[in-house]
Amino acid sequence: MARMHIMAGPGEKLDMPAIRTITLGDLGDVLRRGAADFWAKPSHYVLLMLIYPIIGIVLTVWMNGWHAWTLLYPLVGGFALVGPIAALPLYEVSRRLEAGEDPSWRDAMSVLRSPAIGSILAVGAMLFVLFTLWLTSAQALYESLFGAAPPHTLIGLANQIFSEPGGMTLLVAGTGLGALFALVVLCTSVIAFPLLLDRDVGAYVAVETSLRAVRHNLVPLLAWGIIVGAGLFLASLPLFVGLAVVLPIFGHATWHLYRKLVEPISMIRGS
C-alpha cells in the first residue's frame, strides 16, 4: 500500500490536474515574482546558499587532485538536472508567502515532513539516475575521442578542446548530449515537485502532469528550460558563487510557474 501511495497518491483513483495554457510573457512574470519572493526572505537562505560556493571549491580541489577535469563541464551543466531537488525548500517558502504567512528557515525545511515525501524522493531518485547517466555518457564520449588518460590541468583540457582533432566534436556533441538529458528532466519534472508539495498526487501523476504541461505549452516551456539552463550555467562559472542568487530566484519562479500551469482544485470543484 505504501508503494502504491508513493506512485499514485492516497486516493482510490488518480488525481489528474488540469493544465492551463501560458505564453512567453508569463515567463517574465514568474521571474519577477520569483525575485520578489527571494528579496522578501533572503535571510533564510544564507545557510543553504553558502553550500554552493563551498561545493564549487571542493569540486575544483577534487578535480585538480584526481585529474578529473573532463567532468567539470558535465558537473556544471548537471545543476540543471538536479536543481529541482535543491530548490524544494524554496517552493515551500513561496507556497507559504502566497498563503500570507511569514515563513522561517524551519518552515522552509518542513518539506521533509510533507505527506508526499515518499513521492518526492521517488522523483528525486529518477533525477539522480539521469544525472549519473549524464556523467557516465559524458566521460564515455571523452574517452572515445581522447582515450582514458585525462589531462592533469584545466589548461590541458582547454588545449585538447581547442587545439587537438576531436576537440570541437567533444564540445558540440557534449553540449547536444547534455541538452538531451536536460530536455528529459524538463519534460518529466518541470512542475513535479511544486505539485507534490501542493497536492499529494503521487510520483506517477507528478511526472505525467509535467509531461502534459510541456506538451500543451511546448514553446514557452522550452524557452523556460533554456533560460534556466543558461542561468545556472553562467552562475556556476565563478566557483558556483552566482548560484546563491540565481538558484533561489529560479526556485521561487518555478512555484509561480506551477501556479500558472495547473488549475487550482477550488476552480475544478467549482466548475
- Which residues lie across from 262 on neighbouring strands? 19
Task: With respect to residue 259, please indicate whether it lies within any of the assigned structural domains.
Answer: yes
Task: Look up residue 238 and give its DSSP letter.
Answer: T
pLDDT grade for 1, boundaries at 50, 70 and 90: very low
Task: With respect to residue 212, please indicate whether it lies within any of the assigned structural domains.
Answer: yes
Task: With respect to residue 54, please indicate whether it lies within any of the assigned structural domains.
Answer: yes
Nine-digit cell string for 110: 518542513
Sign of the four-CA dihedral 251, 115, 200, 263: negative
List, for residues 12-65, the tens digit of each pLDDT value: 556 789 999 999 999 999 999 999 999 888 765 655 555 655 666 666 666 566
The predicted pLDDT at position 206 comes to 93
Task: With respect to residue 3, please indicate whether it lies within any of the assigned structural domains.
Answer: no
Task: Confirm if 132 and 185 have CB atoms less than 8 A apart.
Answer: no
Task: With respect to residue 44, please indicate whether it lies within any of the assigned structural domains.
Answer: yes
List, for residues 75-106, the tens digit of each pLDDT value: 777 767 777 887 888 899 999 999 999 888 78
Nine-digit cell string for 121: 524522493
State the total domains in the chain: 1
Task: With respect to residue 220, please indicate whether it lies within any of the assigned structural domains.
Answer: yes
> Which range is least confidently modeled, 143-147, 211-215, 236-240?
236-240
Q: Is residue 269 over pLDDT 90?
A: no
Closest CA to 124 of 206, 243, 181: 206
Amino acid at 71: L
Q: Is residue 217 over pLDDT 90?
A: yes
DSSP per residue, 92-142: HHHHHHHTT----HHHHGGGGG-TTHHHHHHHHHHHHHHHHHHHHHHHHHH
Task: With respect to residue 19, please indicate whether it lies within any of the assigned structural domains.
Answer: no
The parent domain of residue 153 ranges over 34-264
Task: With respect to residue 67, please indicate whether it lies within any of the assigned structural domains.
Answer: yes
Nine-digit cell string for 235: 552562475
DSSP per residue, 127-196: HHHHHHHHHHHHHHHHHHHH-S---SSHHHHHHHHHHSTTHHHHHHHHHHHHHHHHHHHHHHHTTHHHHH
DSSP per residue, 52-87: HHHHHHHHHHHHHHHT-GGGHHHHHHTHHHHHHHHT
